[in-house]
Amino acid sequence: MLPLDILVHVRNAEGEPLAMRAALALAPRLDGYLYGLFVAPLGAVAFSTPETVVFQATEADHLYKDALARRAWWQQLLAARNARGEWLVAQGEPVEALCHAARWCDLIVAERPTLNPDAPLGWGTVSRTVFGAGVPVLVVPETAQIGPLGENILIAWNHSREAMRAIRGALPLLARAARVVVLDGTPQEDRLVMRHQPRLDLAGWFARRGVNAQFRSFTPKGDVGAGILALAHELGADLIVMGAWGHSRIAELVLGGATRSLFQQSDLPLLVAH
């Protein structure tokens, strides 16, 4: 098995951050090399006076230097769990920094804070990273209880490009999981482009890659995301693998969707890709 480089978004460089705990739970399964990334903010200058800009720039440089000094903290966390990795610090906008570092990583692990239910969804740091990074993202809800991760995996399969990208990203975990259950949902259709097209035999695709998966038909009558989460809990899953934002963000913001629902409601980690 080739080692995987895992990028961990460190929002708070003290204690043992939730994203770090999730990454450490995955690392032994993936022979993971963990890059911790802390992004030191730059002050907003749009409405600042020249004097304020100088102060903000000085303060931002102090924050950056302080973050660089946290390298020993990161290495101590890794050493305590017999893990390997490096400490990275960027200065600027978090999404830009994450997408930049993702160029040489295979997976991003990011904590998603609990938001006001009425807050706009799809424009936050995690959602924009899913769109821009080009690699799968393990979304760790703030309410998640991190224990074994990747032992019992649920896949939400709707035959979409996004779902297949998530499955490919999760393949090293799927091959080592004790149990994989696939919720086989209704395929997305694009009647304007093609009426008849071949379908992927996912069971055969898995079998050729050493993944032993159980398939269940999935036709929820109500909220798709809520149905996925309910079955995940019923089956004792510790991870949900799914495509993210299969429809446009605008459509999901207005009409709702599985991504929107699970990002709001899930207390289980989600391995997603767009």
Q: What is the mean pLDDT of residues 125-135?
A: 93
Name the region of 170 (left: φ>0; alpha: ψ -120 to 50; beta: rest): alpha
For residues 181 and 68, what is the distance between their CA atoms, to the nearest angstrom? 42
For residues 22 and 155, what is the distance between their CA atoms, to the nearest angstrom? 19
Q: List pLDDT tens digits, range 242-259.
A: 998 765 544 444 334 788
Same fold, 5-141 and 152-273: yes
Read off the pLDDT band of 189 (50, 70, 90): low
Residue 53: is its pLDDT beyond 70? no
Q: Which pLDDT does position 255 carry in this prediction?
A: 35
What architecture is domain 152-273? Answer: 3-Layer(aba) Sandwich (3.40)
Q: Which pLDDT does position 2 carry in this prediction?
A: 78
Q: What is the mean pLDDT of residues 60-72?
A: 94
- Alpha-carbon dihedral 268, 270, 187, 168, rounded to 10 degrees: -140
Residue 10: is its pLDDT beyond 90? yes
Exposed/middle/buried for residue 120 (C-beta within 10 Å: 0-12, 13-18, 19+)? exposed
Q: Which pLDDT does position 42 carry in this prediction?
A: 79
Angle at 173 between CA 128 and CA 39, to 5 degrees: 35
Fold of 5-141: Rossmann fold (3.40.50)
Average pLDDT, the chain: 87
Closest CA to 213 of 246, 173, 186: 173
Q: List pLDDT tens digits, range 162-175.
A: 999 999 999 999 99
Residue 84: is its pLDDT beyond 60? yes
Q: Which pLDDT does position 252 carry in this prediction?
A: 44
Q: Which pLDDT does position 251 carry in this prediction?
A: 41
What residue spans define the domains of the chain? 5-141, 152-273
Q: List pLDDT tens digits, range 26-52.
A: 999 999 999 999 999 876 555 556 666
